[in-house]
Amino acid sequence: MPNIKFHIRFPEDKIKEPIIYQIGHEFKVITNVRRADVRETTGWMDLELIGDSTEIERAIAGLRKKGVIVDPIELNVVE
């Protein structure tokens, strides 16, 4: 099953929303938080998505639609 890691950043107005939970329920992907730093006004996360490639792409589009900035992690170096 494919897995891809992403670095995501949350705008201040999205910090308190359960976006990762929502993505895991709206799409057929497993979400795995690898690293994160979430504070009152800023937040970022290294997130691994596991599932079918099509569902991963849909989940990424869903994150972006919710206002999250999504960047792929080069070579998936987060371990």
* pLDDT, tens digit, 9 for 90 and up, residues 14-42: 999 999 999 999 999 999 999 999 998 99
CA 28, CA 9: separation in Å to the nearest integer? Answer: 22
* 3-state secondary structure at position 30: strand
pLDDT at 75 over 70: no
Quick one: pLDDT at residue 1?
A: 77
3-74 carries CATH number 1.25.40.10? no
CB 50 within 8 A of CB 29: yes
Quote the CA–CA distance of 55 and 40 in Å, as a whole number. Answer: 31
Residue whose entry in the numeric block shows the structure tokens 């490639």: 53
Report the alpha-carbon distance of residue 23 to residue 5 in Å, rounded: 15
Question: Across all residues in the chain, what is the average pLDDT?
Answer: 91
d(CA 48, CA 73): 10
